[in-house]
Each structure stands twice: as C-alpha cells, then as structure tokens.
Amino acid sequence: MSTISFLNISMHGHVNPTLPVVAELVRRGHTVTYHASPAFRAEIEAVGATVRDYPGGNPPFPDPPTPLTWMEVLAETAVRWLPGVLADLRRDRPDLIVHDSACLWGAVAARELGVPAVSSFTTFAFGRQVPSPTHGSWELLAAARARPRSLWGYLRSRRELRRRFAAGGLPLLDVANIRQPLNLVYTSREFQPAAEEFDGSYRFVGPSIGSRPADPSFPLDRLQDPVLYASLGTVFNADPQLLRTFATALAPLGGTVIVSTGQTDPDALGPLPANVLPYRFVPQPEVLARAALFVTHGGMNSVNEALYAGVPLLVVPQGADQPMVARRVVELGAGLSMRTEDVARGTVRTLARRLLHEPGFRAAAAGLRTAQHEAGGHRRAADELEACLRAAGPVRRPVPVDPSQRG
C-alpha cells in the first residue's frame, strides 16, 4: 500500500473534515502521516495516523485577522517550518501529499520533493465568481497601503521561499487558493456557488463526517423536542451577552435549547431558563440529528453538517468566509441570515419562529440533505485519492537536497 502525508493549517475548521478521510485510508491499509501542531495530536492519532509536530506549536493568529495579515503569517510560517517539514517528508517518503488549499508550505514541499499533490478545500472552491479572501482586489490593495509593513513582510517571505525552495508556479497573492491537478472540496456541487465554473479537477465530495468518540457527559437522552441549537464556533471568544440573547430568545420555542459556548465560560451567560443547556462543546453531529433549528456563525463545517442533517439555519456571520456561506444558505432557501449588530431577543425569536413553522425552509434543507449525502463524503474522498495514486504510478523522487546548501 501507499504512504500519504497530510499537511494542514492547525485550526479545527481545516483539520476536522480531513480526519474521517484519514481514518478511511488507514482502514484500507495505507500509511498516513499528518503534519499539525501538537494541540491536534490526540485527535489525529485516534484515527490511525502518525503525527509529525510542527515546531513551536501554532503560528500566531494574525491580529487583526485580515486577508493581508493572514497572507503574511502563512508566508512567514512556510519559511520557518519548511526545513523541518522537508526533513520529515524525506524520511517518510510519501507517495502523495495532501495539503490544505491555504497550506503554502505543503504545496512548496510537494514541488521540492517531486511528489504528486492534492489540495483540500474546507471552504467553498474559489474562482472568478467566488473569489477567495486573498485574491487580488481593490480591498487588498487598500489594506496594503494601510499596512505596508505586513505587505513587505509577505513579499520578503515569498522572496525567501523562491530563493531557498522550489516555490515557483504558486500564486503570487492568492495563497488561500492553491490548486492542484486534483482538488477535494468538502461540500456538494449543489451547495457550491457557481459550480459550473469549476472543471473536472474539482471533486465535490460532500461533507466529510465520520464517527466520533462518544461523549458520555452530554445528556443526549434528556433532550426534549423540538431541539434548538445555537453555536458561534470555537475560534473566537463569543460575546456572553450574544449567546444569552440566543438562549432566552429560543427558550419559549423549544423543548430543549442547547447553547455551545466554545471558549466562553458557560457561567458567564448568567441564569438561564430551565430548558436551556449551556456547554462549552457539544457532540455536534449527534445534536444536529435531533435539531429542528440551528443558529450558527456560518462556519463552513457547521453549515455542511447542518445541511447533512437537513436542519434549517439562522446564520449570524462573524467574519472570514461566513458572509458568503450565509448568502448561499439564504439563496437556496434553507435558512435566514442576520447581522450581529441586529441581534435582539425579539428579532431572533421572530426569525426562529419562521424557520420552525414555514415549511419551505425545511423542504429546501431536506433537498440539500439529499445532495450532501449523495456526494459521497469521506469514502468518496478516499476513492479519489486512491485513483490519484494509481494515475501517478511510482513516485520518481529527485536526489534530496538540503535547502541550507542552496545559494
């Protein structure tokens, strides 16, 4: 069998969809190594892969988290990590490299070693009608003028990459959209905007949802219908007052209301109605399987999982690609969207009542549920990777070169 190396951005939204794929590849007899930060070691080892730690833990999250500062961090991280990553890969001798679409060091490593590569899109696929956050634009130019230090930091790192490594052929600016001859997109073609724009190199494999360890501490057996669920994800500290507004707005409409607080302490929400259960983290697929409504920040993974369960959504985007995801949900009739600044108890309750009682929303979500299931998920992704391995044949690797010896 083959050796496959995954290189990823160490964030839950980027890592989680790949884990069922890794588990399936291991089940089929492949050896999988996975480069990530130490914080993800337990999750990755649980699916059977061998973890290769990035040095120094996570790169600093950009502040402010804009496309330009994100580009700067990605390029600087690539320069810093590539020597160690390449040393690991030379020992592992992978037959295939799978890297996140924004994992600049993964794409460079594949070129450096002459190994076939696949790009993993945990967002929408990006193109002319669906531009990525880092595409060349007037907004990016304005950001560069406002933060020239970030621009020069990015350009300096890109110049260093070209000098020391085989970094040619990669996009100069659009580093969130690194494409390969095979690109796995973890949603259905029906949910992808402008799907007709993308050629056969893009495989819309649908949500990658596998079995997860049971959480005996979560009271699934106590849930009363209708189950209403609210979560703003795990990346940022959610405003306790915002979460409290969701809880108190939904309480009169639900049998059980579940609020996932993420990094926010549940006690910070204060006293809540008796039918509200606040938890830092919940077994989301299992909760969504019971839910009649999902209030969400619009993270791609969360929305994919909700549509996989056929649950209508109230999307409250917080940033990144979430406004784009919210627009698509509304466009397809599977939910409604509102701005954070418009969140109030009465407004949330009015929109939630519509989602619960107007049948069109559940019908649209049910249609997307069918599309999400038929796309194939993690097993389809594993099939595509195996087909890529067969097409590539034996990897003919160049003689390893120590990057430090380059001029």
pLDDT digits (tens, 9 = 90+) for 325-352: 999 999 999 999 999 999 999 999 999 9
Provide the pLDDT for residue 385.
98
- Write down the pTM of the prediction: 0.90
Provide the pLDDT for residue 319.
76
The one-letter amino acid code at 105 reads: W
Provide the pLDDT for residue 152.
93
Provide the pLDDT for residue 236.
57
Residues paired with residue 368 on neighbouring β-strands, in sequence order: none
Indicate the domain borders of the chain: 3-206+376-394, 220-373
Taking the C-alpha atoms of 304, 254, 339 and 373 in order, what is their torsion angle to the nearest 10 degrees? 10
* 145 contacts: CB under 8 Å, gap ≥ 6: none
- C-alpha span between 380 and 51 (Å, rounded): 24
- C-alpha span between 237 and 331 (Å, rounded): 29
Tokens at residue 166, please?
């085989």
Tell me the CATH number of domain 220-373, given options 1.10.1040.10, 3.40.50.300, 3.40.50.2000, 3.40.50.2300. Answer: 3.40.50.2000
Provide the pLDDT for residue 406.
43
The closest of 123, 97, 102 to 182, measured between CA atoms, is: 97
Domains 3-206+376-394 and 220-373 share a fold: yes
Q: What is the pLDDT along the chain (407 residues), one digit of tens a residue?
A: 899 999 999 888 899 999 999 999 999 999 999 999 998 999 999 999 999 999 876 666 666 678 888 899 999 999 999 999 999 999 999 999 999 999 999 999 999 999 999 999 999 999 998 988 888 887 888 888 888 888 999 999 999 999 999 988 899 889 999 999 999 999 999 999 999 999 999 999 999 997 666 677 888 988 999 999 999 876 556 789 999 999 999 999 999 999 999 888 999 999 999 999 999 889 999 999 999 999 999 999 999 999 999 999 999 998 778 899 999 999 999 999 999 999 999 999 999 999 999 999 999 999 999 999 999 999 999 999 999 999 987 654 444 545 444 43
Provide the pLDDT for residue 235.
59
- Residue-wise pLDDT for 133-167, tens only, equals 888 887 888 888 888 888 999 999 999 999 999 98
Residues paired with residue 279 on neighbouring β-strands, in sequence order: 260
| SS3 label, residue 223 | coil
Report the topology of domain 3-206+376-394. Rossmann fold (3.40.50)
Q: Where are the alpha helices (DSSP H) in 28-147?
A: 41-46, 67-92, 104-113, 138-146
Provide the pLDDT for residue 142.
87
Provide the pLDDT for residue 407.
38
